Structure 1
Amino acid sequence: MSESESIPQIGQVVRVLRGREADSYCVVIEQLNERYVRIADGEKRKYDRAKKKNINHLELVDYVSPEVRESIETTGRVTNGKLRFALSKFLNDQVLDLKKGEQIDG
């Protein structure tokens, strides 16, 4: 594993690979150490009840939410609404990328 992909950043979107929440997307809200982070999605997993997760059980996505990162850096926390917004923005961008050039069935 290369050095750049092994360390998730605050505000980075990740896909959960293992556990009950497998295949769901969350946002990294805290780096605990080189092996663990805390993640939340603002909906099922609120900021106040963030999940401690081994980074080996996460797939790092090449997307960092500037709103989440800025909020955590300035206030030390982030609202659940902002987490939901960041994830929906990311997922909408992903869908748009997949649909480019394809006919969308209505």
Structure 2
Amino acid sequence: MNDSDSSPRIGQFVLIKQGRDVGQFAVIVDILDDRFVLLADGDKRKFKNPKKKNVNHLEFFDFVSPEVQSSINETGRVTNGKLRFALTKFVNEQVTDLKKGELFDGERRCN
């Protein structure tokens, strides 16, 4: 397994699989070590008060928000609005597509 594929990245989207926030999506805003990351969603979990989470309790998506990643890399922080926007966009575009793919075998249906 390629190490770069398995290691978390700042700005990466995750689904929380264990704990009080199970089933919620979040963005990685910092990587503490090889076991723990800090998550925020810009809503209940603000950037200033991120959640420390064990990587074993997360499902990683192969999507990184370039806006969040560049903001953190350039300034060391990101606005909660930008986090909310990135998460909403990700959930609406990617997660909805994934669910449609599972439900309809990749067939697109319009309402």
TM-score (normalizing by structure 1): 0.89
Structure 2: gaps spanning 5 or more residues: none
Identity of aligned residues (%): 50
Report the equivalent of 2:45: 45
Q: Name the Cα RMSD after superposition.
A: 1.8
The number of aligned residues is: 105
Tell me the alpha carbon deviations over residues 48-88 of structure 1, each in whole angstroms, 9 at most, x when there is no partner: 11000000000001110000000000000000000001101
Report the equivalent of 2:3: 3
How far did 1:92 drift? 1.4
Structure 1: gaps spanning 5 or more residues: none
Q: Secondary structure at the match of 1:23?
A: coil
Report the equivalent of 2:84: 84
Q: 1:80 to 1:20 in 2, by over 3 A?
A: same
Q: Secondary structure at the match of 2:37?
A: strand
Tell me the alpha carbon deviations over residues 15-71 of structure 1, each in whole angstroms, 9 at most, x when there is no partner: 000001001000000000011000000001111110000000000011100000000
TM-score (normalizing by structure 2): 0.86
